[in-house]
A and B are shown apart, each in its own frame.
Chain A
Amino acid sequence: MKRVTVHEEWCLGCHLCEYNCAYANSGIPDMVKALKGKRIFPRIKVEDGGTPGSVTFAVSCRHCPDPICVKSCISGALSKRGGAVTVDRSKCVGCYTCILVCPFGAISTDGDGAVLKCELCLSNGAGTPACAAGCPNGALTVEDIDIPEG
């Protein structure tokens, strides 16, 4: 199964992954039109100590083998398909239980009710995870990892 792997050693804290994520999931073909003047809601977030030299790394859904978010979803909006945890936004009722239980803080919301999370760019037009494709220093890579399904 493809996974986005994080190499914090090479993360520059440039935050480009966040913008590439927001753009990939915007459905708009032009990045400027998609992002200019808007608040972005990326599904990957850079943890940043904020001072020069502090550790930085990007966090997105780990697509756990036995995802607690899926278990806790009361409406069946979250499910695991083909190894990736995906969200059916039409079913999401906005209870945010998943946000509370996710140990990585990888689920978020854009404020319109339904939750957002990384779906490995499987359902948008990017084809391959946009965060990794746009990372300038190889801090995010897409790797095929054998993960036993729980």
Chain B
Amino acid sequence: MGVEFIYPEFEVVRNSSRCIACRVCERQCSNGVHTYDPDGGVMLSDESKCVNCQRCVSLCPTRALKIVKSDCVPRENANWQADTIKEIYKQANSGGVLLSSMGNPKPLPVYWDRILINASQVTNPSIDPLREPMETRVFLGKKPRKIERGEDGRLRNNLTPQLELSMPVMFSAMSYGSISYNAHKSLAEAATELGIYYNTGEGGLHEDFYVYGPNTIVQVASGRFGVHADYLGAGAAIEIKMGQGAKPGIGGHLPGTKIVGDVSRTRMIPEGSDAISPAPHHDIYSIEDLRQLVYSLKEATQYKKPVIVKVAAVHNIAAIASGIARSGADIIAIDGFRGGTGAAPTRIRDNVGIPIELALAACDTRLREEGIRNDVSLVVGGSIRSASDVVKAIALGADACYIATAALLALGCHLCRTCHTGLCNWGIATQRPELVKRLNPEIGKTRLVNLMTAWRHEIKELLGGMGINSIETLRGNRLMLRGVNMTEKELEILGISHAGE
């Protein structure tokens, strides 16, 4: 207490006239906020432990609970906001780097919300997806520049390996270790049922999940955790992770407390040791090194799998994308600065990188200017929140989108942003068995399938409104977009006109 004291961020508001003291909140809170007082027959709370994950709120059978943001704040002004002041106190207390989880929460522009979609009126018909076929299938991978014919004159299939997606959305990388076994299982089963892909992240692939290989993208990151020949061979594609939108320029750190049992075995590192991914790949200090890794992985898998290179959206992303497109990679994944993470230094998460909308538009334009757009597919992530975000991304030029935060929300995540504590009450970002079991993968899978099915319906509605009946003709179709509330420069980079033009 005293100078070290920071007033709790949240208040637990318990409606005593509704509380029946069933103690569900107490049993469900891994942070120990709620306790039962047998003398008074009432529930007590310790707000200082509350992270506002809403688990107790969701399970309280009589809706007696709510969590509200505390209005006890230091005297703010426009420059010194409460969060800024509290961060100073925290660092003065601890002497450490501030850690955060999930994506950048700062009020920086969300360009998706300034882009509007077109619809047909009079001069061409809109198409009703309930009555006409409406196609959302896409193929990711390099497309040949020239057709070839056999001696019989028939077209020869000279396509390199492709990923076939029933809709242009995939679940992006979240490692086993950073999220739980049941979360991975939910994602794997949902991807299989949906005909899309999920991504192992950098933690290797649990042996139970090799059966989902045809719908799995296996990741190779700077720590090389869990990477071996069978692992590379197990997936449908291999992703080299160069960077992550939430923390461009730095590596990862999974604390030893999460390296237990199967996580340790899957990562191929000792139990309890911290899993530290270096900031760069120490065999990639330049673009020509990347080319060598791309081809090493292709050699290791007999050229049967497309290779994805994932990078964070940074300032010169268009030039980087051009380099990657010429490195032999089949797919470029770009992760915007609002992308999520299990843990990142707060300063980096909140200040490094650029918005995915601008990065995507710049890369798509650049690759087309160089005539190499068809040599690679573009996948974008870093806060795709809805079907309309997907449609806008495709129209700006993406082949498909990566989603992770939205998928976690479907699994129960309430964005409390304390993944790094390992105490996730929703059974997602934790390795504690009693918490992991809170996520029943059968329910998780169903909810993910529901979410994607709903998005697919919405994508079809939006396509039909534009008079388009295949997602392929939306790709790069920027004429279908208009901007509002943007500068000339922003419109120029996005390559779209202002509304009314």
Direct contact of A and B (CB under 8 A): yes
- Alpha-carbon distance A32/B440, docked complex (angstroms): 29
Give the residues in chain B near A16, CB-CB below 8 Å.
Answer: 22, 24, 59, 61
Give the residues in chain B near A139, CB-CB below 8 Å.
Answer: 440
B85 at interface by CB-CB < 8 Å = no
Give the residues in chain A near B62, CB-CB below 8 Å.
Answer: 31-32, 35-36
On whether A35 and B28 interact (CB within 8 A), knowing A10-B437, A53-B434, the answer reads: no
On whether A19 and B61 interact (CB within 8 A), knowing A35-B20, A138-B442, the answer reads: yes
Give the residues in chain A near B442, CB-CB below 8 Å.
Answer: 138
Give the residues in chain B near A12, CB-CB below 8 Å.
Answer: 27-28, 434, 437-438
Q: Is the interface of A mostly helix, strand, loop or mixed?
A: loop
Is A14 in contact with B434, judged by CB distance below 8 angstroms?
A: no
Is B59 in contact with A32, judged by CB distance below 8 angstroms?
A: no
Is A137 in contact with B27, judged by CB distance below 8 angstroms?
A: no
Is B27 in contact with A134, judged by CB distance below 8 angstroms?
A: no
18 contacts between A and B (CB under 8 A): A9-B437, A12-B27, A12-B434, A12-B438, A13-B27, A14-B27, A15-B22, A15-B23, A16-B59, A35-B22, A36-B19, A36-B20, A37-B20, A52-B434, A136-B58, A137-B437, A137-B438, A137-B443
A20 at interface by CB-CB < 8 Å = yes
Which residues of B in the span 1-59 have a Cβ within 8 Å of any Cβ on A? 17-20, 22-24, 27-28, 41, 58-59
B39 to chain A, nearest CB (A): 15
B182 — nearest CB in chain A belongs to which residue?
A10
- Alpha-carbon distance A93/B20, docked complex (angstroms): 32
- Alpha-carbon distance A14/B438, docked complex (angstroms): 10
Partner of B20, one of A19, A52, A138: A19
Is B18 in contact with A32, judged by CB distance below 8 angstroms?
A: yes
Which residues of B in the span 426-485 have a Cβ within 8 Å of any Cβ on A? 432-434, 437-440, 442-443
By a beta-carbon cutoff of 8 Å, the part of chain B in contact with chain A is 17-20, 22-24, 27-28, 41, 58-59, 61-62, 64, 432-434, 437-440, 442-443
Interface string of A1-33 (1 = CB under 8 A from B): 000000001101111101110010000000110
On whether A138 and B59 interact (CB within 8 A), knowing A35-B22, A52-B434, the answer reads: no
Is B20 in contact with A31, judged by CB distance below 8 angstroms?
A: yes
By a beta-carbon cutoff of 8 Å, the part of chain A in contact with chain B is 9-10, 12-16, 18-20, 23, 31-32, 35-37, 52-53, 134, 136-139
- Alpha-carbon distance A10/B435, docked complex (angstroms): 10
- Alpha-carbon distance A134/B438, docked complex (angstroms): 15
Partner of A137, one of B18, B61, B440: B440
- Alpha-carbon distance A86/B440, docked complex (angstroms): 32
Partner of A53, one of B64, B433, B439: B433
Give the residues in chain A near B23, CB-CB below 8 Å.
Answer: 15
- Alpha-carbon distance A36/B61, docked complex (angstroms): 12
- Alpha-carbon distance A37/B18, docked complex (angstroms): 10
Is B438 in contact with A20, judged by CB distance below 8 angstroms?
A: no
B55 — nearest CB in chain A belongs to which residue?
A136
Query: Apart from A136-B58, A137-B437, what 13 extra A-B contacts exist at CB < 8 Å?
Result: A9-B437, A13-B27, A16-B24, A16-B59, A18-B22, A19-B24, A19-B61, A20-B61, A31-B62, A32-B17, A37-B20, A137-B443, A138-B442
Give the residues in chain A near B438, CB-CB below 8 Å.
Answer: 12, 137
Give the residues in chain B near A18, CB-CB below 8 Å.
Answer: 22
Is B437 in contact with A14, judged by CB distance below 8 angstroms?
A: no
B368 to chain A, nearest CB (A): 48
Give the residues in chain A near B64, CB-CB below 8 Å.
Answer: 32
Partner of B61, one of A9, A31, A53: A31
Is A136 in contact with B61, judged by CB distance below 8 angstroms?
A: no
Give the residues in chain B near A136, CB-CB below 8 Å.
Answer: 58-59
- Alpha-carbon distance A113/B331, docked complex (angstroms): 73
- Alpha-carbon distance A10/B440, docked complex (angstroms): 6
B60 — nearest CB in chain A belongs to which residue?
A16
B17 to chain A, nearest CB (A): 7
5 shortest A-B CB distances, which residue pairs? A35-B20, A138-B440, A10-B440, A53-B434, A19-B22
The CB with the most chain B CB atoms within 10 A, among A15, A18, A23, A137, is that of A137
On whether A14 and B24 interact (CB within 8 A), knowing A32-B62, A53-B433, the answer reads: yes
- Alpha-carbon distance A13/B61, docked complex (angstroms): 15
A123 to chain B, nearest CB (A): 22
- Alpha-carbon distance A138/B58, docked complex (angstroms): 15
Is B20 in contact with A14, judged by CB distance below 8 angstroms?
A: no
- Alpha-carbon distance A134/B64, docked complex (angstroms): 16
B435 to chain A, nearest CB (A): 9
- Alpha-carbon distance A12/B22, docked complex (angstroms): 15
